[in-house]
Amino acid sequence: MDMVAKVHVSTLDCHRLLPTGNVFRPLIGRRRVVVQPCRSFKSEDVGPAEYVKVNKFVGAIRSAVWSCSKPSLRTENKLREAMEMLEERLFSLALYVGRYIITMMSTGVVMFVGFQLSGGDSQMNELIWYSWLGGIIIGTMIGSNLVLDEVARAGPRNVLITGSTRGLGKALAREFLLSGDRVTVTSRSHVSVGLTIEELEENLKQALNAATGSARKKLAHAKVVGIACDVSDPVDVKKLGKFAADELGYIDIWVNNAGTNKGFRPLLEFTNNDIQEVCMLLTIFIYLC
Ligand SMILES: NC(=O)c1ccc[n+]([C@@H]2O[C@H](COP(=O)([O-])OP(=O)(O)OC[C@H]3O[C@@H](n4cnc5c(N)ncnc54)[C@H](OP(=O)(O)O)[C@@H]3O)[C@@H](O)[C@H]2O)c1
Protein backbone atom coordinates (compact mmCIF):
# COMPACT_ATOMS: atom_id res chain seq x y z
CA MET A 1 0.00 0.00 0.00
CA ASP A 2 1.41 3.39 -1.00
CA MET A 3 1.26 6.22 1.43
CA VAL A 4 2.70 9.66 1.02
CA ALA A 5 2.40 11.24 4.44
CA LYS A 6 1.85 10.13 7.98
CA VAL A 7 0.99 12.56 10.74
CA HIS A 8 1.01 12.05 14.48
CA VAL A 9 -1.14 14.22 16.68
CA SER A 10 0.88 14.58 19.82
CA THR A 11 0.06 15.83 23.28
CA LEU A 12 1.29 19.28 22.41
CA ASP A 13 -0.40 22.05 24.26
CA CYS A 14 -2.78 22.65 21.38
CA HIS A 15 -5.85 23.05 23.56
CA ARG A 16 -4.63 26.57 24.21
CA LEU A 17 -5.41 27.27 20.56
CA LEU A 18 -9.05 26.36 21.07
CA PRO A 19 -11.40 29.22 20.49
CA THR A 20 -13.86 30.01 23.22
CA GLY A 21 -16.73 28.30 21.36
CA ASN A 22 -17.12 24.55 20.96
CA VAL A 23 -15.96 24.32 17.38
CA PHE A 24 -12.33 23.42 16.86
CA ARG A 25 -10.98 24.76 13.59
CA PRO A 26 -7.27 24.16 13.86
CA LEU A 27 -5.59 26.88 11.81
CA ILE A 28 -7.57 26.00 8.75
CA GLY A 29 -8.41 29.43 7.35
CA ARG A 30 -10.23 28.96 4.05
CA ARG A 31 -10.33 25.19 4.52
CA ARG A 32 -6.57 24.88 4.66
CA VAL A 33 -5.26 22.16 6.96
CA VAL A 34 -1.89 22.18 8.68
CA VAL A 35 -1.15 18.90 6.92
CA GLN A 36 0.68 19.66 3.70
CA PRO A 37 -1.24 18.60 0.63
CA CYS A 38 0.15 15.68 -1.30
CA ARG A 39 0.86 16.94 -4.75
CA SER A 40 1.69 13.68 -6.40
CA PHE A 41 -1.67 11.98 -6.17
CA LYS A 42 -3.69 11.54 -9.31
CA SER A 43 -7.05 9.81 -9.13
CA GLU A 44 -7.66 6.96 -11.57
CA ASP A 45 -11.33 7.74 -12.02
CA VAL A 46 -10.87 11.38 -12.87
CA GLY A 47 -9.75 12.46 -16.29
CA PRO A 48 -6.50 14.34 -16.80
CA ALA A 49 -8.47 17.48 -17.63
CA GLU A 50 -9.24 17.78 -13.92
CA TYR A 51 -5.61 18.34 -13.23
CA VAL A 52 -4.22 20.02 -16.25
CA LYS A 53 -5.06 23.56 -15.32
CA VAL A 54 -2.85 25.25 -17.87
CA ASN A 55 -4.67 28.19 -19.44
CA LYS A 56 -7.59 27.52 -17.14
CA PHE A 57 -8.70 31.12 -16.99
CA VAL A 58 -8.25 31.89 -20.63
CA GLY A 59 -10.22 28.74 -21.46
CA ALA A 60 -12.96 29.56 -18.99
CA ILE A 61 -13.34 33.13 -20.22
CA ARG A 62 -13.42 31.95 -23.79
CA SER A 63 -16.03 29.32 -23.03
CA ALA A 64 -18.17 31.78 -21.08
CA VAL A 65 -18.09 34.31 -23.91
CA TRP A 66 -18.79 31.53 -26.37
CA SER A 67 -21.77 30.38 -24.27
CA CYS A 68 -23.19 33.90 -24.26
CA SER A 69 -23.07 34.07 -28.00
CA LYS A 70 -24.91 30.78 -28.55
CA PRO A 71 -28.50 31.50 -29.65
CA SER A 72 -29.89 28.68 -27.48
CA LEU A 73 -28.51 30.37 -24.39
CA ARG A 74 -29.99 33.75 -25.00
CA THR A 75 -32.73 33.32 -22.47
CA GLU A 76 -32.47 35.61 -19.49
CA ASN A 77 -31.50 32.91 -16.97
CA LYS A 78 -28.82 31.29 -19.05
CA LEU A 79 -27.32 34.62 -19.92
CA ARG A 80 -27.20 35.57 -16.26
CA GLU A 81 -25.56 32.25 -15.38
CA ALA A 82 -22.94 32.78 -18.05
CA MET A 83 -22.31 36.32 -16.80
CA GLU A 84 -21.97 35.06 -13.24
CA MET A 85 -19.45 32.47 -14.38
CA LEU A 86 -17.51 35.08 -16.31
CA GLU A 87 -17.56 37.36 -13.30
CA GLU A 88 -16.32 34.56 -11.03
CA ARG A 89 -13.46 33.74 -13.39
CA LEU A 90 -12.44 37.35 -13.88
CA PHE A 91 -12.52 37.91 -10.16
CA SER A 92 -10.20 34.97 -9.45
CA LEU A 93 -7.93 36.03 -12.29
CA ALA A 94 -7.72 39.53 -10.79
CA LEU A 95 -7.06 38.00 -7.39
CA TYR A 96 -4.14 35.93 -8.66
CA VAL A 97 -2.63 38.82 -10.59
CA GLY A 98 -3.08 41.11 -7.57
CA ARG A 99 -1.43 38.63 -5.22
CA TYR A 100 1.41 38.15 -7.62
CA ILE A 101 2.04 41.87 -8.05
CA ILE A 102 1.79 42.58 -4.33
CA THR A 103 4.24 39.81 -3.46
CA MET A 104 6.66 40.87 -6.15
CA MET A 105 6.56 44.56 -5.34
CA SER A 106 6.66 44.16 -1.57
CA THR A 107 9.76 41.97 -1.79
CA GLY A 108 11.44 44.63 -3.93
CA VAL A 109 10.41 47.41 -1.54
CA VAL A 110 11.69 45.50 1.49
CA MET A 111 15.06 44.98 -0.15
CA PHE A 112 15.22 48.59 -1.33
CA VAL A 113 14.45 49.94 2.14
CA GLY A 114 16.97 47.50 3.62
CA PHE A 115 19.76 48.83 1.41
CA GLN A 116 18.78 52.44 2.06
CA LEU A 117 18.80 51.89 5.80
CA SER A 118 22.15 50.21 5.64
CA GLY A 119 23.67 53.46 4.38
CA GLY A 120 22.72 53.63 0.72
CA ASP A 121 24.24 56.66 -1.04
CA SER A 122 25.06 57.55 -4.63
CA GLN A 123 27.76 54.88 -4.78
CA MET A 124 25.23 52.33 -3.71
CA ASN A 125 22.90 53.07 -6.64
CA GLU A 126 24.04 50.11 -8.66
CA LEU A 127 23.63 47.85 -5.69
CA ILE A 128 20.13 49.20 -5.13
CA TRP A 129 19.15 48.38 -8.69
CA TYR A 130 20.50 44.88 -8.23
CA SER A 131 18.48 44.61 -5.04
CA TRP A 132 15.35 45.61 -6.96
CA LEU A 133 16.14 42.99 -9.54
CA GLY A 134 16.70 40.40 -6.81
CA GLY A 135 13.42 41.41 -5.20
CA ILE A 136 11.58 41.04 -8.46
CA ILE A 137 13.08 37.59 -9.07
CA ILE A 138 12.34 36.36 -5.57
CA GLY A 139 8.88 37.93 -5.66
CA THR A 140 8.20 36.25 -8.99
CA MET A 141 9.14 32.90 -7.51
CA ILE A 142 6.99 33.37 -4.40
CA GLY A 143 4.12 34.80 -6.44
CA SER A 144 4.18 31.91 -8.93
CA ASN A 145 4.25 29.50 -6.05
CA LEU A 146 1.12 31.08 -4.56
CA VAL A 147 -0.64 30.97 -7.90
CA LEU A 148 0.39 27.36 -8.56
CA ASP A 149 -0.70 26.40 -5.08
CA GLU A 150 -4.23 27.58 -5.82
CA VAL A 151 -4.50 26.63 -9.46
CA ALA A 152 -2.67 23.33 -9.62
CA ARG A 153 -3.80 21.79 -6.35
CA ALA A 154 -3.58 18.03 -6.81
CA GLY A 155 -7.00 16.51 -6.71
CA PRO A 156 -8.69 14.42 -4.09
CA ARG A 157 -6.35 12.99 -1.49
CA ASN A 158 -7.13 9.77 0.33
CA VAL A 159 -6.93 10.50 4.03
CA LEU A 160 -7.21 8.12 6.97
CA ILE A 161 -7.67 9.61 10.44
CA THR A 162 -7.64 7.40 13.52
CA GLY A 163 -9.89 8.40 16.42
CA SER A 164 -12.07 10.50 14.14
CA THR A 165 -15.52 10.03 15.65
CA ARG A 166 -15.25 13.08 17.85
CA GLY A 167 -13.05 16.01 18.83
CA LEU A 168 -10.06 16.99 16.78
CA GLY A 169 -10.18 13.83 14.62
CA LYS A 170 -13.74 14.48 13.49
CA ALA A 171 -12.99 18.17 12.87
CA LEU A 172 -10.04 17.18 10.68
CA ALA A 173 -12.14 14.59 8.83
CA ARG A 174 -14.77 17.24 8.10
CA GLU A 175 -12.21 19.75 6.85
CA PHE A 176 -10.55 17.24 4.55
CA LEU A 177 -13.94 16.09 3.26
CA LEU A 178 -15.14 19.63 2.60
CA SER A 179 -11.87 20.30 0.79
CA GLY A 180 -12.88 17.58 -1.67
CA ASP A 181 -10.80 14.74 -0.23
CA ARG A 182 -11.78 11.12 0.42
CA VAL A 183 -11.71 10.27 4.07
CA THR A 184 -11.66 7.09 6.16
CA VAL A 185 -12.96 7.62 9.70
CA THR A 186 -12.45 5.17 12.53
CA SER A 187 -12.62 4.57 16.27
CA ARG A 188 -13.26 1.60 18.55
CA SER A 189 -17.03 1.90 18.32
CA HIS A 190 -18.98 0.65 15.28
CA VAL A 191 -21.92 2.81 16.31
CA SER A 192 -19.89 6.04 16.51
CA VAL A 193 -18.27 5.28 13.17
CA GLY A 194 -21.70 4.82 11.56
CA LEU A 195 -23.05 8.02 13.13
CA THR A 196 -19.97 9.98 12.13
CA ILE A 197 -20.25 8.83 8.52
CA GLU A 198 -23.92 9.88 8.48
CA GLU A 199 -23.08 13.28 9.96
CA LEU A 200 -20.20 13.95 7.59
CA GLU A 201 -22.24 12.81 4.58
CA GLU A 202 -24.92 15.29 5.62
CA ASN A 203 -22.25 18.03 5.89
CA LEU A 204 -21.03 17.13 2.43
CA LYS A 205 -24.55 17.18 1.01
CA GLN A 206 -25.15 20.65 2.45
CA ALA A 207 -21.83 21.89 1.12
CA LEU A 208 -22.63 20.48 -2.31
CA ASN A 209 -26.04 22.16 -2.32
CA ALA A 210 -24.49 25.49 -1.42
CA ALA A 211 -21.54 25.23 -3.80
CA THR A 212 -21.43 26.43 -7.38
CA GLY A 213 -18.93 26.30 -10.21
CA SER A 214 -15.42 25.17 -9.35
CA ALA A 215 -16.25 24.69 -5.66
CA ARG A 216 -18.92 22.17 -6.62
CA LYS A 217 -16.57 20.41 -9.00
CA LYS A 218 -13.99 20.15 -6.21
CA LEU A 219 -16.49 18.44 -3.92
CA ALA A 220 -17.73 16.01 -6.55
CA HIS A 221 -15.18 13.31 -5.65
CA ALA A 222 -15.32 13.74 -1.88
CA LYS A 223 -16.43 10.68 0.00
CA VAL A 224 -16.37 9.32 3.54
CA VAL A 225 -16.07 5.67 4.57
CA GLY A 226 -15.27 4.05 7.90
CA ILE A 227 -14.69 0.98 9.98
CA ALA A 228 -14.21 0.30 13.70
CA CYS A 229 -10.61 -0.20 14.82
CA ASP A 230 -8.80 -0.28 18.15
CA VAL A 231 -5.36 1.12 17.40
CA SER A 232 -3.87 -0.92 20.22
CA ASP A 233 -4.77 -4.13 18.38
CA PRO A 234 -2.37 -4.99 15.51
CA VAL A 235 -4.96 -7.18 13.78
CA ASP A 236 -7.48 -4.34 13.83
CA VAL A 237 -4.91 -1.89 12.47
CA LYS A 238 -4.10 -4.24 9.58
CA LYS A 239 -7.81 -4.57 8.84
CA LEU A 240 -8.13 -0.79 8.88
CA GLY A 241 -5.31 -0.31 6.37
CA LYS A 242 -6.74 -2.99 4.08
CA PHE A 243 -10.23 -1.52 4.34
CA ALA A 244 -9.01 1.95 3.37
CA ALA A 245 -6.90 0.60 0.52
CA ASP A 246 -9.83 -1.47 -0.80
CA GLU A 247 -12.25 1.45 -0.54
CA LEU A 248 -10.06 4.27 -1.79
CA GLY A 249 -7.28 2.62 -3.79
CA TYR A 250 -4.47 3.74 -1.53
CA ILE A 251 -3.74 6.18 1.28
CA ASP A 252 -2.02 9.52 0.82
CA ILE A 253 -2.19 10.80 4.37
CA TRP A 254 -2.51 8.76 7.56
CA VAL A 255 -3.21 10.83 10.66
CA ASN A 256 -2.46 9.10 13.98
CA ASN A 257 -4.91 11.11 16.04
CA ALA A 258 -6.48 8.47 18.31
CA GLY A 259 -5.61 9.23 21.88
CA THR A 260 -6.98 9.98 25.26
CA ASN A 261 -6.09 12.30 28.09
CA LYS A 262 -8.36 10.66 30.68
CA GLY A 263 -9.82 14.06 31.48
CA PHE A 264 -8.17 17.34 32.42
CA ARG A 265 -7.30 17.04 36.11
CA PRO A 266 -4.23 17.10 38.36
CA LEU A 267 -1.70 14.40 37.55
CA LEU A 268 -1.84 13.14 41.14
CA GLU A 269 -5.43 12.09 40.56
CA PHE A 270 -4.43 9.75 37.74
CA THR A 271 -4.22 6.05 38.49
CA ASN A 272 -1.30 3.98 37.23
CA ASN A 273 -3.61 2.44 34.65
CA ASP A 274 -4.69 5.88 33.41
CA ILE A 275 -1.08 6.97 32.93
CA GLN A 276 -0.18 3.72 31.26
CA GLU A 277 -3.13 3.94 28.89
CA VAL A 278 -2.42 7.56 27.90
CA CYS A 279 1.28 6.88 27.32
CA MET A 280 0.78 3.60 25.46
CA LEU A 281 -1.81 5.10 23.15
CA LEU A 282 0.20 8.20 22.34
CA THR A 283 3.62 6.63 22.03
CA ILE A 284 3.75 2.85 21.63
CA PHE A 285 0.61 2.16 19.61
CA ILE A 286 1.30 4.74 16.92
CA TYR A 287 4.08 2.40 15.79
CA LEU A 288 1.43 -0.21 14.99
CA CYS A 289 -0.27 2.21 12.60
N1 LIG B 1 -8.10 18.17 23.10
C2 LIG B 1 -6.95 18.69 23.50
O3 LIG B 1 -6.88 19.73 24.14
C4 LIG B 1 -5.65 18.00 23.14
C5 LIG B 1 -4.44 18.56 23.55
C6 LIG B 1 -3.25 17.96 23.19
C7 LIG B 1 -3.26 16.81 22.43
N8 LIG B 1 -4.44 16.27 22.06
C9 LIG B 1 -4.38 15.02 21.30
O10 LIG B 1 -5.20 15.12 20.16
C11 LIG B 1 -5.83 13.88 19.91
C12 LIG B 1 -7.33 14.06 19.85
O13 LIG B 1 -7.77 14.69 21.02
P14 LIG B 1 -9.32 14.95 21.26
O15 LIG B 1 -9.44 15.87 22.41
O16 LIG B 1 -9.98 15.30 19.98
O17 LIG B 1 -9.77 13.50 21.76
P18 LIG B 1 -11.24 12.91 21.98
O19 LIG B 1 -12.30 13.94 21.75
O20 LIG B 1 -11.22 12.18 23.26
O21 LIG B 1 -11.35 11.85 20.78
C22 LIG B 1 -10.50 10.75 20.76
C23 LIG B 1 -10.89 9.87 19.59
O24 LIG B 1 -10.01 8.75 19.60
C25 LIG B 1 -10.78 7.56 19.67
N26 LIG B 1 -10.03 6.57 20.41
C27 LIG B 1 -9.66 6.59 21.70
N28 LIG B 1 -8.95 5.50 22.00
C29 LIG B 1 -8.86 4.77 20.87
C30 LIG B 1 -8.26 3.53 20.53
N31 LIG B 1 -7.61 2.79 21.44
N32 LIG B 1 -8.37 3.08 19.26
C33 LIG B 1 -9.03 3.80 18.34
N34 LIG B 1 -9.63 4.97 18.58
C35 LIG B 1 -9.54 5.45 19.84
C36 LIG B 1 -12.09 7.96 20.31
O37 LIG B 1 -13.18 7.13 19.95
P38 LIG B 1 -13.61 5.82 20.80
O39 LIG B 1 -13.50 6.20 22.25
O40 LIG B 1 -15.01 5.53 20.35
O41 LIG B 1 -12.64 4.76 20.41
C42 LIG B 1 -12.30 9.34 19.70
O43 LIG B 1 -12.85 9.24 18.41
C44 LIG B 1 -5.40 12.93 21.03
O45 LIG B 1 -4.34 12.15 20.56
C46 LIG B 1 -4.96 13.87 22.12
O47 LIG B 1 -3.99 13.28 22.94
C48 LIG B 1 -5.62 16.82 22.37
207-238 pLDDT tens trace: 999 988 878 888 988 999 999 999 989 999 99
86 within some domain: yes
pLDDT at residue 55 tops 70: no
Task: Determine whether the shortest distance from the Cβ of 236 to ligand 1 is under 6 A.
Answer: no
User: Number of folded domains in the chain?
Assistant: 2
Last residue of a domain, one of 121, 151, 181: 151
Last residue of a domain, one of 151, 184, 218: 151
One domain, residues 70 and 174: no
Distance 49 CA to ligand 1 centre (A): 39
Query: Could you tell me where the beta strands, DSSP code E, fall in 173-222?
Result: 182-187
- Structural domain boundaries enclosing 134: 54-151
The total number of residues shown for the chain amounts to 289
One domain, residues 269 and 160: yes
One domain, residues 39 and 59: no
The percentage of residues in the chain with a pLDDT greater than 90, rounded to a whole number, is 30
One domain, residues 193 and 233: yes
Q: Residue 149: its pLDDT value, please?
A: 64
Distance 256 CA to ligand 1 centre (A): 10
pLDDT at residue 130 tops 70: yes
Is the CB of residue 139 less than 8 Å from the CB of residue 147? no
Q: Residue 67: its pLDDT value, please?
A: 57
**Could you tell me the CA-to-CA distances from 125 to 114, 135, 137, 161, 225 in Å, in that order?**
13, 15, 18, 56, 62
226 within some domain: yes
One domain, residues 79 and 160: no
The percentage of residues in the chain with a pLDDT greater than 70, rounded to a whole number, is 66
Residue 244: its H or E element: helix 234-248
pLDDT band at 64 (very low <50, low <70, confident <90, very high): low
Q: Residue 36: its pLDDT value, please?
A: 41
One domain, residues 33 and 160: yes
Q: Which of 109-123, 133-147, 164-178, 255-269 has the highest mean pLDDT?
A: 164-178
pLDDT at residue 34 tops 50: no
One domain, residues 266 and 124: no
Is the CB of residue 239 less than 8 Å from the CB of residue 226? no
One domain, residues 145 and 164: no
**Could you tell me the CA-to-CA distances from 265 to 4, 14, 154, 274 in Å, in that order?**
37, 16, 43, 12
Q: Residue 159: its pLDDT value, please?
A: 95
φ and ψ of 42, to 5 deg = -130, 130
CA distance linking residue 242 with residue 231, whole number of Å? 14
* CA-angle at 85, arms to 50 and 70, nearest 5°: 100
Amino acid letter, 107: T
204 within some domain: yes
Residue 254: its H or E element: strand 253-256
List, for residues 251-280, the tens digit of each pLDDT value: 999 999 998 888 888 888 999 999 988 888
48 within some domain: no
pLDDT at residue 240 tops 70: yes
CA distance linking residue 205 with residue 178, whole number of Å? 10
74 within some domain: yes
Last residue of a domain, one of 125, 151, 177: 151
* CATH number of the domain enclosing 201: 3.40.50.720
Question: Cβ neighbours of residue 42 under 8 Å, at least 6 residues apart?
Answer: 51, 154, 155
One domain, residues 97 and 223: no
Q: Residue 25: its pLDDT value, please?
A: 43
49 within some domain: no
Handedness of CA 144, 147, 150, 151 (dihedral sign): negative
Q: For the ranges 3-12, 52-61, 180-189, which has the lowest average pLDDT? A: 52-61
Task: Determine whether the shortest distance from the Cβ of 260 to ligand 1 is under 6 A.
Answer: yes
One domain, residues 222 and 87: no
One domain, residues 194 and 280: yes
Q: Which of 7, 17, 160, 168 to mutate to test the pocket of ligand 1 (most atoms within 8 A of CB)?
A: 168
One domain, residues 207 and 111: no
Q: Residue 73: its pLDDT value, please?
A: 52
Q: List the one residue out of 154, 220, 225 whose CA is nearest residue 183.
A: 225
Task: Determine whether the shortest distance from the Cβ of 227 to ligand 1 is under 6 A.
Answer: no
Provide the mean pLDDT of the chain.
75
200 within some domain: yes
